[in-house]
Amino acid sequence: MTYDFDRVIDRANTDSLKYDFARRRGKPEGILPLWVADMDFQAPPCVLDALAERSRHGIFGYSDTGEDYAAALRDWFWRRFRWRIEPDWIVKTPGVVTALHIAVRAFTAPGDGVIIQQPVYYPFSSAVQSTGRTLVISELVLRDGRYQIDFDDFEAKVAAGRVKLFILCSPHNPVGRVWTEEELTRLGEICLKHGVRVVSDEIHADFVFPGRRHRVFADVSPALRDITVTCTAPSKTFNLAGLQISNILIADSRLRAAFTRAYAAAGLSQVGVMGLVACRAAYTGGEPWLEALKVYLADNLALLRDTLARELPAVRLVEPEGTYLAWLDCRALGLTAAELDDRIVRRAGLWLDEGPMFGVGGEGFQRLNFACPRSVLAQALTRLKRI
Ligand SMILES: Cc1ncc(COP(=O)(O)O)c(C=O)c1O
């Protein structure tokens, strides 16, 4: 089966956060959005069919899942990552961000430290700060065009900051790293040594470019399995973010009990039925679509890389090893953060994510989502040259 990722689908007036709220969010009319991490592609046909069939049934009562759902997840994680999961590890939440907030409440007390590696997806810091915990930051280091972990800094911050929890982003948004087994092992050793539990946000795990391998943090060793909560979701992979379904996988029964207690205490219970239907369908039949999509995204990335190198060398691509997000180093332009934003928005007419949103180390950078039809990306690159 072939899939038409070139097709431009008008997303205006679909209640789309990416397309429909520019004015309300202070952006000019006509701006081209390549910001928030959803894709401009339809979900796989198997998902559309399953949702249509469920919709035709017409009754949308409270819902839960059975063995077929757990089997779809089990088979997916085994086939894709050689990770063996058990049905009772699965805790469903209406999104990974919800799960991050719940985990912070479940595993730390007000005043405890929670460590993150900035620049990183901005809700990590909100999940820590909005719950009255202390944010501890170990900054990633850009060396020879590739981000690295400063392990000494990480351990020193863990030891000094009464840190009880580490929120890992793997693969990493926005810097695009796919962490190696060795890096994950070293992080894990530090966490084990200092009694730090880990929330591993692996929502981007399905987007890893050729030559890289996503390694599930909890599967690196039995000791790490017992201190780790793994956040997964079909939402990035199959473009289902608006259906709000994620699967949090927790092997250790005490960790799982603490998590589900905090979940219930936040007033949460079942998730939406359409998310469940879509998730099961996607993990069961969506693999050929995903493989085709990854080829398309790699070609988009090549277009981005080549165009910048040839026509806009002052904007440097930090080569992503995974994700469909490009982290653009614009520091050579010599602009302040406000000037850079202004040029991107007003001069180029592009809506990207501003680097400083991702915390320390973000200044002078912009994040560009290249999961769109190639013609849209080409148009965005033409605009970008105006900065
Ligand atoms: C690292 C990371 N975690 C979580 C999310 C959002 O997850 P959800 O929509 O399930 O809350 C995103 C979305 O971009 C992300 O990049």
- Give the pLDDT confidence of 130-167 residue by residue, as tens digits: 989 999 999 999 999 999 999 999 999 999 989 999 99
Residue 334 alpha carbon to ligand 1 centre in Å: 31
Decide if 165 contacts 198 (C-beta within 8 A). yes
Decide if 206 contacts 290 (C-beta within 8 A). yes
Q: Which of 97, 178, 204, 370 to mutate to test the pocket of ligand 1 (most atoms within 8 A of CB)?
A: 97
User: Looking at residue 161, what is its pLDDT?
Assistant: 81
Q: Pick from 147, 127, 121, 44: which is nearest to 369 by CA?
A: 121
Answer yes or no: is the C-beta of 138 below 6 A from any ligand 1 atom. no
| pTM for the full predicted model | 0.98
Q: Is the pLDDT of residue 382 over 90?
A: yes
> Which positions ≥6 away from 261 have C-beta within 8 Å?
106
Answer yes or no: is the C-beta of 121 below 6 A from any ligand 1 atom. yes
Answer yes or no: is the C-beta of 240 below 6 A from any ligand 1 atom. no
User: Looking at residue 21, what is its pLDDT?
Assistant: 95
User: Looking at residue 77, what is its pLDDT?
Assistant: 98
User: Looking at residue 160, what is its pLDDT?
Assistant: 93
Residue 55, helix vs strand vs coil: helix
Phi, psi of 196, rounded to the nearest 5 degrees: -100, 130
Rounded to whole angstroms, how far apart are CA atoms 108 and 100? 12
Rounded to whole angstroms, how far apart are CA atoms 242 and 245? 9
> Which positions ≥6 away from 252 have C-beta within 8 Å?
225, 226, 227
Answer yes or no: is the C-beta of 173 below 6 A from any ligand 1 atom. yes
List residues bridging with 175 in a β-sheet.
none
Going by alpha carbons, the residue nearest to atom 13 of ligand 1 is 37
User: Looking at residue 335, what is its pLDDT?
Assistant: 97
Q: At residue 356, what is the residue type?
A: P
Q: Pick from 209, 216, 150, 141: which is nearest to 175 by CA?
A: 141
- Sketch the domain layout of the chain as residue ranges: 32-44+287-384, 49-285
Which ranges of the chain would DSSP assign to H, the alpha helix?
A: 45-57, 67-81, 96-107, 123-129, 151-160, 181-193, 222-225, 235-238, 253-265, 273-285, 287-311, 337-342, 374-384
User: Looking at residue 1, what is its pLDDT?
Assistant: 77
User: Looking at residue 387, what is its pLDDT?
Assistant: 93
- Class of domain 49-285 as given by CATH: alpha beta
Q: Pick from 243, 244, 177: which is nearest to 204 by CA?
A: 177
Answer yes or no: is the C-beta of 365 below 6 A from any ligand 1 atom. no
Phi, psi of 375, rounded to the nearest 5 degrees: -65, -30
Torsion angle (degrees, nearest 10) of CA 202, 373, 312, 317: 10
Half-sphere exposure of 136 (CA within 13 A, CB side): 23
Of the chain, the percentage scoring pLDDT greater than 70 comes to: 100
> Which positions ≥6 away from 64 have C-beta within 8 Å?
270, 276
Answer yes or no: is the C-beta of 373 below 6 A from any ligand 1 atom. no
* Fold of the CATH domain 32-44+287-384: Aspartate Aminotransferase, domain 1 (3.90.1150)
Answer yes or no: is the C-beta of 203 below 6 A from any ligand 1 atom. yes
Give the pLDDT mean for 107-126. 97
Q: Pick from 44, 3, 18, 28: which is nearest to 376 by CA?
A: 18
Give the pLDDT mean for 201-211. 98
Rounded to whole angstroms, how far apart are CA atoms 208 and 347? 33
Q: At residue 251, what is the residue type?
A: A
Torsion angle (degrees, nearest 10) of CA 97, 98, 100, 102: 170
Q: Pick from 48, 4, 39, 47: which is nearest to 19 by CA?
A: 39
Q: Is the pLDDT of residue 10 over 90?
A: yes
Going by alpha carbons, the residue nearest to atom 9 of ligand 1 is 95
Give the pLDDT mean for 231-242. 98
Residue 203 alpha carbon to ligand 1 centre in Å: 6
Residue 38 alpha carbon to ligand 1 centre in Å: 10
Decide if 138 contacts 144 (C-beta within 8 A). no
Is 49-285 the same fold as 32-44+287-384? no
User: Looking at residue 124, what is its pLDDT?
Assistant: 98
- Give the pLDDT confidence of 269-316 residue by residue, as tens digits: 999 999 999 999 999 999 999 999 999 999 999 999 999 999 999 999
Answer yes or no: is the C-beta of 97 below 6 A from any ligand 1 atom. yes
- Give the pLDDT confidence of 52-77 residue by residue, as tens digits: 999 999 999 999 999 999 999 999 99
- Give the pLDDT confidence of 254-268 residue by residue, as tens digits: 999 999 999 999 999
Q: Is the pLDDT of residue 380 over 90?
A: yes
Answer yes or no: is the C-beta of 233 below 6 A from any ligand 1 atom. yes
